Amino acid sequence: MLALERGLVKLEPYNDKWSKLFNEERELLSSQLKELIIAIEHVGSTSIKGLFAKPIIDIAIGVSSLDVIIELKEKVKALGYVEVPVSIDGKHVFTRYREKKITHFLHVMIYNQNLWIDQISFRDYLRLNLNAKIEYIKLKEKLANKYPNDVISYTNEKKKFVDDILKRAKKL
């Protein structure tokens, strides 16, 4: 139901339990990080009803400044998260594993700046636009079949679609 081996691409039909699992994790994170964060949002494909997704909960955490990262890093580490090296300026990513499988990703970024706005805009656009959601499902299935053992290529090939959705969302 939740968890996927690192590097693999395996899609599952939308599961209502993903929202419940996010809410439980949000409560835990809020209680431990409350003075360091501004917002916590469920993002990624598990946050979009009806969308096929890798069974990993993506969570966006908005902070006022990346100056809180050192303290935040220690607190999420105590909750079982491990930092993942990313090459995106202004973003820190952490993951949590269960039995050597990824269950959660935390995407920490400055609240209401470009990375945050893009993450929320993409999610909200797909939640509201059935045609875009269907288009995305088809693309994800095609790429999952093409790259079952290569999550990097899978993600890179989705980029054009994601950029197109963000352009559409900005026109609204």
28-66 pLDDT, tens per residue? 999 999 999 999 999 999 999 999 999 999 999 999 998
Which helix (H) or strand (E) covers residue 146, if one does?
helix 130-146
- Count the residues in the chain: 172
How many helical (H) and strand (E) elements, i.e. helices and strands, does the chain have? 5, 6
- Average pLDDT on 92-121 reads 94
Which helix (H) or strand (E) covers residue 78, if one does?
helix 69-78
Q: What is the C-alpha separation between 71 and 167, in angstroms, rounded?
A: 35
pLDDT digits (tens, 9 = 90+) for 78-101: 999 999 988 788 899 999 998 889
Residue 44 DSSP one-character state: S
**Other CB atoms within 10 Å distance of the CB of residue 148:** 14
pLDDT category at 126 given cuts 50, 70, 90 is very high
State how far Cα 117 lies from the chain centre: 13
Q: Which two tokens stand for residue 79?
A: 């909750």
> Around 166, how many Cα atoms within 13 Å sit in the side-chain half-sphere?
13
pLDDT exceeds 70 at position 103: yes
> In DSSP terms, which residues pair with 8 in a beta bridge?
none
Residue with token string 């339990």? 17
Helices of type H across 97-129: 114-128
What backbone torsions phi and psi does residue 164 show, to the nearest 5 degrees? -65, -40
> What pLDDT does 1 receive?
62
pLDDT exceeds 80 at position 3: no
pLDDT category at 4 given cuts 50, 70, 90 is confident
